[in-house]
């Protein structure tokens, strides 16, 4: 298996499951982890790229031959059973993950999930909580000097109360807002500096300037603790 810190961290969140799906599997490294460690009975690995899927099939050939793994060429949850117990989606944008979950024909909320959105984490958090998910972990880790959001959760129980996230928690993640680590605050200060730099431009429309001012004020409030 590829020995990257990012893959190791994501794999550490995966639990034993009767059925498991690795959506957007790329080369199949995390599928390989599940199968090698006997963590699932049946595994589906899918990708929209034929080239990536073929590489994953080659890596998982023994398990495919044994009927333990099934490769699916397609977008999102196409070919993934709706009763799949645990789903991993890593490396896609948050908006793209929402599109997969909400697809009219193929979409569903998995019983358990590990999502690693590259962008639009706020949109994904809002969708999950509004649609009946409970977020057990919601934080940012670093690998090779790059920050990655990680959202681990499950479907809420029938009588389980919905989580109440603040504006800052939706935007940046629950654990980041509770812990306010030096690395997290450093990233916010970089975002603030960029917003202030753009505000110094001369060709901004009134709408763009207003949006940037709101963004700047929000970042300042989170950094100073005035905004939760």
Of the candidates 51, 146, 50, 48, the residue with the CA atom closest to the CA atom of residue 89 = 48
Nearest partner of 180 among 123, 215, 222, 118, judged by Cα: 222
* Best CATH choice for the domain 5-179 from the list 3.40.50.10800, 2.40.30.20, 3.40.50.150, 3.30.70.560: 3.40.50.150
Instruction: Flag whether pLDDT at 136 surpasses 50.
Output: yes
Q: Which two tokens stand for residue 219?
A: 């970042």
Mean pLDDT of 108-118: 98
0.85 surpassed by pTM: yes
140: which strand partners?
149
On the question of pLDDT at 3 being above 60, the answer is no
Q: What pLDDT, on the 0 to 100 scale, is given for residue 203?
A: 87
Q: What is the pLDDT of residue 1?
A: 45
């Amino acid at each position: 298996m590829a020995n990257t810190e990012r893959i190791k961290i994501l794999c550490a969140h995966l639990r034993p499951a009767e059925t498991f799906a690795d959506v957007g599997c790329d080369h199949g490294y995390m599928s390989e982890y599940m199968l090698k460690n006997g963590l699932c009975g049946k595994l589906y690995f899918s990708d929209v790229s034929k080239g990536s899927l073929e590489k994953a099939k080659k890596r998982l050939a023994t398990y495919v031959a044994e009927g333990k793994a099934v490769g699916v060429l397609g977008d999102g949850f196409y070919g993934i059973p709706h009763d799949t117990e645990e789903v991993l989606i890593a490396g896609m944008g948050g908006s793209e993950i929402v599109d997969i979950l909400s697809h009219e024909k193929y979409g569903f909320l998995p019983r358990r999930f590990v999502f690693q959105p590259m962008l639009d984490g706020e949109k994904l958090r809002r969708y999950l909580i509004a649609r009946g998910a409970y977020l057990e972990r919601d934080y940012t880790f670093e690998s090779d000097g790059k920050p990655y959001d990680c959202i681990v959760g499950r479907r809420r129980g029938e009588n389980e109360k919905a989580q109440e996230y603040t504006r800052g928690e939706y935007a940046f993640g629950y654990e980041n807002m509770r812990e306010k680590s030096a690395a997290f605050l450093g990233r916010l200060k970089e975002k603030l500096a960029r917003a202030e730099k753009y505000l110094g431009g001369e060709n901004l429309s009134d709408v763009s300037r207003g949006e940037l001012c709101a963004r700047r004020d929000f970042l300042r409030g989170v950094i100073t603790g005035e905004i939760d």
